[in-house]
Structure 1
Amino acid sequence: MRLHRNLCFAVIDGLTQIFNDNQYADKVIQQLLKRDKRWGARDRAFVAETTYDIVRWKRLYAEIAEVKPPFDRDNLWRMFAVWATLKGIALPNWNYFEHTPTRKIKGRFDELSKIRKFRESIPDWLDNLGQAELGDAIWTHEIAALNEQANVILRVNTLKTTKEKLQSELFDIDIETEFLKGYPQALKLKERSNVFATEAFKKGWFEVQDASSQLVAELLNVQPGMRVVDACAGAGGKTLHMAALMENKGQIIAMDLYANKLNELKRRAKRNGVHNVETRVIDSTKVIKKLYDKADRVLIDAPCSGLGVLRRNPDAKWKLRPEFLDTIRNTQQNLLKQYSRMVKIGGQMVYATCSVLPSENKDQVETFLASEQGKGFKLIQEKNILAHQTGFDGFYMALLERKSK
């Protein structure tokens, strides 16, 4: 591979914003890809994948390059040189790469790869936490899987098409996919591609949604005609899935603290041909209290550490703080106790997170069931999904049924 100066500059600019200005990697890359209209698909792929790669392995590369944050541009070029050397890419004769110790880089990589926190490029506190909660062996496998590049998984919108029709339509434009056993609406791309530019996406035939995430709506067992509450709907990936499972019949009340997210949900719903969703901003407790004992199904897709989706958001490793976890665990328990009151007797609720930590998952459900608010509920089923076992995102989901008040 030959390195092109303008593409490498884009990567360095992006890393500056992510590491030093604390901006989100996905937003930064989205802007970088608009920098030069002359760039082709390969150019854009290089910028995106290289930036994500260096973000993912920041600690390892910084240690090898012998640089410490905050990273100035010279430091970032040294980290870039480490990335290129380990990828087997010949460094051009540029000033930034003068005196790069290629042999020393490979030797340091071999040495540091024996130590998990460097090999997997994670903060000390996160390594200690993962080991404490999951055990040494499982954590070793899991964090390695969470550092792999995620597959692109589509969820077919059954309101508009079928898996077979979508697969055929994409095949005609040289995008090959395969079915996934156990995931009824999923198609996995064989090679990465910009599916958002396809006519099929514009027509609302699919959404991009990881296979593990697709299991959440399935577990809630929604049926046409039900009243369903998606209590932490966000931009509505699971809301839209439930609407399809309900065949657009019944009512889904999609709720969130943030109106901008619900506005995005409305746009997506229009594209998907979904018209049984009503959005409500949670601007006071009254919004929740009005629905006490009235929902057949409630989904609590709770805010969490996001450790199960590190493959998609590698910069989260560097933004996450131990004190945030303490705060979010309290939030999760409060949501369970408050939002569960919307479930009517005989109704069901799913509590879900995209975390792999038992303290955010199983422990939260057990604490809720032992509480005054949870005494009328019974655990029906739970799924603890680990990335190293499935190849998809780490997730947790528990189905509970309300038996009495």
Structure 2
Amino acid sequence: MKLHRNLVFATIDSLHLIFNEGKQADKVLKNTLKRDKRWGSRDRGFIAETTYDIVRWKRLYAKIAEVKEPFDRGNLFRMFSVWATLRGIVIPDWKQVEPTPTRKIKGRFDELSKIRKYKESIPDWLDELGVKELGAKWDAEINALNKQADVVLRVNTIKATVEQVRNALLESNVETESVKGAPHALKLKERANVFITEAFKNGWFEVQDASSQKVAQFLDPKPGSKVVDTCAGAGGKSLHIAALMENKGQIIALDIYENKLTELKRRARRDGAHNIETRVIENSKSIKKLIGKADKVLIDAPCSGLGVLKRNPDAKWKLQPEFLDKIKETQEEILTSYSRLVKPGGQLVYATCSILPSENNLQVKKFLKKEAGNDFTLIKEEKLYPSKTGFDGFYMALLQKK
């Protein structure tokens, strides 16, 4: 592979913003990739994948390169040299790059690969937490979470069939394959920009991981029913629920962030989902009128996001133990508060994109022992582990109200 100066420099600029200024990787890359109109898809792919790679392996590469945060440009170039050397890429004789000690880099890599916190490139506290919560399973899970995420689509059955979408994408030279256990999912065989296809513009599909698609299926909403999605965000799951309800009945999508609900409205228009009503939660009064009214309630709770590190590798550097303690309290409050919306005989799904028992089954256990959970019975739960599925890590519990 021949390295191009402007692509490498764009990568270094992106890494500076992510590591030294705490900016979100996906947002940084969105801006970086607009920088030069002459870049083709391969050029943009190089910048995005290299940036994500170095973010993912930050601790390992910094240790091999013998550099410490905050990283100046020289440090970032040294980390880039480690990345290139481990891939057998020859680095041109540029003044920004010091001569690269190839044998030393490979030797250090072999040595550090015997120590999990370097091999999997994670902070000490996260490694300790993983062992404490998952025991022997932690090795396989953190290893799986360091793999690059597949691009998975969810066919919007309001507008198209799986076959129609597959054929339409094939005409745009995008090959897909089906995913076992996810009837509306299509996985891309190779990464491609699907957002420029006519099928996407016409609302035939959304990009949504296969594990995430299982949440609405698990809720099993029926056409004509009343469903409340309590932490709807930009609405990936609300849109899936609308499709499963065949656009019949009512979905009330709640969130504390108005901008996310605005995005949901825009997506719903494109998808032809007419049965979603959005409501901003301003205070406790916002949900008062819904108490005891819903056939089904989805609580896709805010969480550590450890199950989605494949697609958000920078999260492992931003996540802090204090945040985890705080988010668990929030999960408890949300479960207690929003469970009241379920009508007698109705059902509730509590879901997270985490693999930690303390955010998942232990939260449900705690809730069932509380006064608020007295009326509920656990019907079933599902733990989706990345090492087993190859997709994101998720947890889901289905509770029935007496």
Q: Distance in 1 between matches of 2:196 and 2:115?
A: 42
Matched residue, 2:2: 2
Matched residue, 1:52: 52
Matched residue, 2:284: 285
In structure 1, stretches of 5+ residues that fail to align are none
Q: How many residues align?
A: 402
Is 1:327 paired with 2:346? no
Give the TM-score taking structure 2 as reference length: 1.00
Q: How does 1:38-187 map to 2 (within 5 A)?
A: 38-135=38-135, 137-187=136-186
Question: Alignment partner of 1:204: what SS?
Answer: coil
Is 1:373 paired with 2:372? yes
Q: Distance in 2 between matches of 1:298 and 1:245?
A: 15
Q: Which one-letter code corresponds to 1:158 in the other structure?
A: T
Percent of aligned positions that are identical: 70
Does the CA contact (< 8 Å) of 1:239 and 1:252 recur in 2? Answer: yes
- Alpha-carbon shift at residue 172 of structure 1 (Å): 1.2
Question: Alignment partner of 1:341: what SS?
Answer: helix
Question: Alignment partner of 1:97: what SS?
Answer: coil
- Alpha-carbon shift at residue 96 of structure 1 (Å): 2.2
Q: Distance in 2 between matches of 1:227 and 1:42?
A: 46
Question: Alignment partner of 2:381: what SS?
Answer: strand
Does the CA contact (< 8 Å) of 2:78 and 2:98 recur in 1? Answer: no
Matched residue, 1:28: 28
Matched residue, 1:268: 267
Q: How does 1:361-400 map to 2 (within 5 A)?
A: 361-400=360-399
The two structures, once aligned, show a CA RMSD in angstroms of 0.5
Q: Distance in 2 between matches of 1:29 and 1:296?
A: 41
In structure 2, stretches of 5+ residues that fail to align are none
Q: How does 1:230-269 map to 2 (within 5 A)?
A: 230-269=229-268
- Alpha-carbon shift at residue 151 of structure 1 (Å): 0.5
Matched residue, 2:352: 353
Q: Distance in 2 between matches of 1:182 and 1:6?
A: 43
Does the CA contact (< 8 Å) of 2:251 and 2:275 recur in 1? Answer: yes
Does the CA contact (< 8 Å) of 2:152 and 2:207 recur in 1? Answer: yes
Q: Distance in 1 between matches of 2:120 and 2:149?
A: 16
- Alpha-carbon shift at residue 180 of structure 1 (Å): 1.2
Q: Which one-letter code corresponds to 1:155 in the other structure?
A: R
Q: Distance in 1 between matches of 2:215 and 2:329?
A: 22
Question: Alignment partner of 1:122: what SS?
Answer: coil
Q: Which one-letter code corresponds to 1:250 in the other structure?
A: G
Question: Alignment partner of 2:297: what SS?
Answer: strand
Give the TM-score taking structure 1 as reference length: 0.99
Question: Alignment partner of 1:150: what SS?
Answer: coil
- Alpha-carbon shift at residue 200 of structure 1 (Å): 0.4
Matched residue, 1:216: 215
- Alpha-carbon shift at residue 95 of structure 1 (Å): 1.5
Q: Distance in 2 between matches of 1:140 and 1:78?
A: 28
Q: Distance in 2 between matches of 1:76 and 1:98?
A: 12
